[in-house]
Structure 1
Amino acid sequence: MKTNVRAGVDAAKNGDGADKEEDNREEEEELVKENARRRAALETTVAKFTDDAVPSMTVREVLNVINNQEENAKRTVLFLDCREKEERAVSIIPGASSAEEFEDDFEKQQDDGKETIVVCYCTIGYRSQKKVQELSKRLARSRPDVKAYNLSGSIVAWTHETDAPKLLDPKTRKETNRVHTYGKTWALQSVEYESVVYKRPVFEAVKGFFFKKKKK
């Protein structure tokens, strides 16, 4: 009798274990689908405002330059965070400078013979694209050895690149899984990251594109 009871208990445990494994597998599949949905939505959104006349790089292209020793010997990569202070306080791409910090550091930087790439980013790339337009004109006159590029998909796209360095909390300098996505509309970050948004979003920076009425 005891043997039968024990066998029944073991069978129940094995059944519970199998159910948990199945639940975990289904949950993982759902996360993969959700991640793919967000990435596709991000690409669609970015395509709506992308100006092909503005130089841009994908996260993968930037990482290839950073991780390639031969490219590293020829180029210096600088990240320029074009977001507001409140957004940057949540997280930044490692090594990124604010607009103010960039201007101060850039004035002191000497031409070392290497091509300098300034990679501008914001939430998904709309504001940073504007910055690249302005910066490129200025650099063409004063520093032709420096090229500005917009990071396509910006910090949200960065979260989707699995081998990209984790975002940093600028205050603690430690890795974080939180990212400011400006508003819920742009909360298309990887499922591994938590979205932070403005409590009362000010859409002035982007409404010119997203909310303007079409002229007839």
Structure 2
Amino acid sequence: MSNLVESPSPAAAACITSQKYHAMFPQVSSLSSQMLINGTLSLNNCEDDTGKPDWHIDGRKVLLMDVRSTPERKVSVISGAISLQEFKKDVLPNLIDADSDAVPTTVVLYCTIGYRSGMESQKLLNDYPFLLGKYSNAEQSDTSYFNDKGQSKLEIRNLDGILNFANALESGTESSEDIRRLLIDPGTNQPATKVHVYGPSWKHCLGHKYDPVVFSHVEFALRGVGVLFRSISCPSCLR
């Protein structure tokens, strides 16, 4: 009888890893890639007038935010996602000032597999408590963050990462152009063939339809230090 233990599939490995990271940020609501994809496809409309996916979940419009570095985003992105810098500078002020009858929006952050997006989500919650999607004690008398139905105009969630997203696309029964264009090469605006997995440790979390791209050992170490410093600047991210 063999004593070898079978390794988990890429999808299972990615799921286990993202759950571990998500558990480090209990205040931040999680969202699976499969739920996001299903919520959008259920509308029978993958794209809006701009040619980008019309992302929705639970009756709410979804705004995707990619918190990864520029080199990672150049390899592939979830279609329609914006950067953290774009969100803070151009989008957040408009979302906060949206009319009370505006369609409620869920801001979904993602990175490779959930840690950096969880950290940035926690930072945003620290700065803007109303992003929890419910009243805080300080906001009981201020309904400006809620629409006429009592729903939060704006809330934040942490996706399980681009690796889980790619795996969800790979495992789907659909193979149409619309489905494949949910993950694109931003340089060509065509369906992606590669995914940046950050470091070698996460190669095994990516399915076989996409080629993994990693940072060099030196760059990986330097970026790891950068992530550590950002964690230190957010005490609640280290709990």
Taking structure 1 as the reference length, the TM-score comes to 0.70
1:7-50 deviation per Cα after TM superposition (whole angstroms, max 9, x unaligned): xxxxxxxxxxxxxxxxxxxxxxxxxx98x622222222223322
Counterpart residue number, 2:224: 203
Distance 1:72 1:121 in 2: 15
Moved more, 176-185 or 136-145: 136-145
Distance 1:96 1:194 in 2: 21
**1:44: which partner in 2?**
16
Are 1:106 and 2:92 an aligned pair?
A: yes
SS at match of 1:119: strand
Matched ranges for 1:116-195 at <5 A: 116-137=105-126, 138=128, 140=130, 143=145, 144-152=152-160, 154-162=161-169, 163=172, 165-166=180-181, 167-187=183-203, 188-195=205-212
C-alpha distance in structure 2 between counterparts of 1:54 and 1:61, whole Å: 17
- Offset of 1:134 from its aligned partner? 1.8
Larger radius of gyration: 1
**Deviation per CA, 1:145-180, whole angstroms, max 9, x where unpaired?**
21110002x000011113454421112211111111
> 1:68 maps to which residue?
42
Please report the RMSD computed on the Cα atoms of aligned residues, expressed in angstroms: 2.8
Cα deviation 1:86-125 (Å, max 9, x = unaligned): 1111110000001112221332343452110111000001
Mean Cα deviation higher: 115-124 or 134-143: 134-143
Greater Cα shift, 78-87 or 38-47: 38-47
CA distance in 2, matches of 1:97, 1:55: 20
**Greater share of residues in helix:** 1
Q: Gapped runs of 5+ residues in structure 2?
A: 1-5, 45-55, 131-138, 146-151, 173-178, 232-239
Give 3-state SS (helix, strand or coil) of 2:75's partner: coil
How many pairs were matched up? 175
Q: Is the 8 A contact 1:56 1:151 kept in 2?
A: yes
CA contact (8 A) 1:73 1:114 kept: no
Q: Could you tell me whether the CA contact under 8 Å between 1:126 and 1:206 is conserved in 2?
A: no
Structure 1 gaps, min length 5: 1-32, 209-216
Separation (CA, whole Å) in 2 of partners of 1:65 and 1:39: 20
Change (3 A) 1:72 1:197: closer
Deviation at 1:139, TM superposition (A): 5.2
TM-score (norm 2): 0.64
